A and B are shown apart, each in its own frame.
Chain A
Amino acid sequence: GIQVEQSPPDLILQEGANSTLRCNFSDSVNNLQWFHQNPWGQLINLFYIPSGTKQNGRLSATTVATERYSLLYISSSQTTDSGVYFCAAGGTSYGKLTFGQGTILTVHP
């Protein structure tokens, strides 16, 4: 099955800084999603992005499917951005998602 690796595993920032999180996947995908897991454990959808670039406020994401990676950009980080960011990939339409290990982001005021 698909292997998903995320980097870095941990990231500590000062409020206002920018960051880039990376997700590498081992095979072609039909589904690539980014999630933010909040302190209550909820998985919040950030982006559905099997290819191309999307932006939503301070967050944007780019997936280069031919090179099998995706990037999540967070600009002007805020303390509320803290949490775990997961990338998940699926190889077939409506198939299971394979999650990466996550990036733990801590934003200090």
Chain B
Amino acid sequence: EPEVTQTPSHQVTQMGQEVILRCVPISNHLYFYWYRQILGQKVEFLVSFYNNEISEKSEIFDDQFSVERPDGSNFTLKIRSTKLEDSAMYFCANPRTDTEAFFGQGTRLTVV
């Protein structure tokens, strides 16, 4: 069964550096999502992306974050200037044929 694929699986970065997280969705579904999970906490919605545009974003998704679809298939989440509190697991997700969301394995971001 095809999976949502995220790279890298783990990234360590210095505070203030830019990071780009990548995701390959399982389908050509028009909807795509990013979520994050701070260690020990619940999964939180960041942003949804529909037909190459942001359709909804949370208050967490401030000007430091951006999402793109650079080559028509892959998706990226960019954090421009990382802060210690950005340390978390970041998940991408997209539906297959119905509204059921499937999640990637996650990228664990550690900001030092």
Residues of A with Cβ closer than 8 Å to B?
Answer: 30-31, 33, 35, 40-43, 45, 48, 86, 88, 90, 93-102
CA distance A19 to B100 in the complex (A): 25
CA distance A90 to B102 in the complex (A): 14
Shortest distance in angstroms between A84's beta carbon and chain B's nearest beta carbon?
9
| A43–B91 touching, CB < 8 Å | yes
| A96–B103 touching, CB < 8 Å | no
Shortest distance in angstroms between A106's beta carbon and chain B's nearest beta carbon?
15
CA distance A100 to B43 in the complex (A): 8
Q: List 17 additional A-B contacts (Cβ < 8 Å) besides A48-B98, A97-B43, A98-B45.
A: A31-B100, A31-B101, A33-B101, A41-B106, A41-B108, A42-B106, A43-B91, A45-B102, A45-B103, A88-B43, A94-B50, A94-B99, A95-B48, A96-B33, A96-B45, A97-B101, A100-B42
- A-contact bits for B3-38, CB 8 A (1 contact / 0 none): 000000000000000000000000000010101010
CA distance A73 to B47 in the complex (A): 31
Chain A residues with Cβ below 8 Å from B53 are none
Given contacts A40-B105, A41-B108, A42-B105, contact A86 B100 (CB under 8 A): no
| B100–A41 touching, CB < 8 Å | no
Which of B42, B48, B89 is most buried by chain A, counting CB atoms within 10 A of its CB?
B42
Chain B's closest residue to A42 (CB) is B105
Shortest distance in angstroms between B4's beta carbon and chain A's nearest beta carbon?
10
Chain A residues with Cβ below 8 Å from B101 are 31, 33, 88, 97
Chain A residues with Cβ below 8 Å from B108 are 41
CA distance A70 to B109 in the complex (A): 32
Chain B residues with Cβ below 8 Å from A93 are 99
CA distance A40 to B41 in the complex (A): 15
CA distance A20 to B44 in the complex (A): 24
Shortest distance in angstroms between B97's beta carbon and chain A's nearest beta carbon?
11
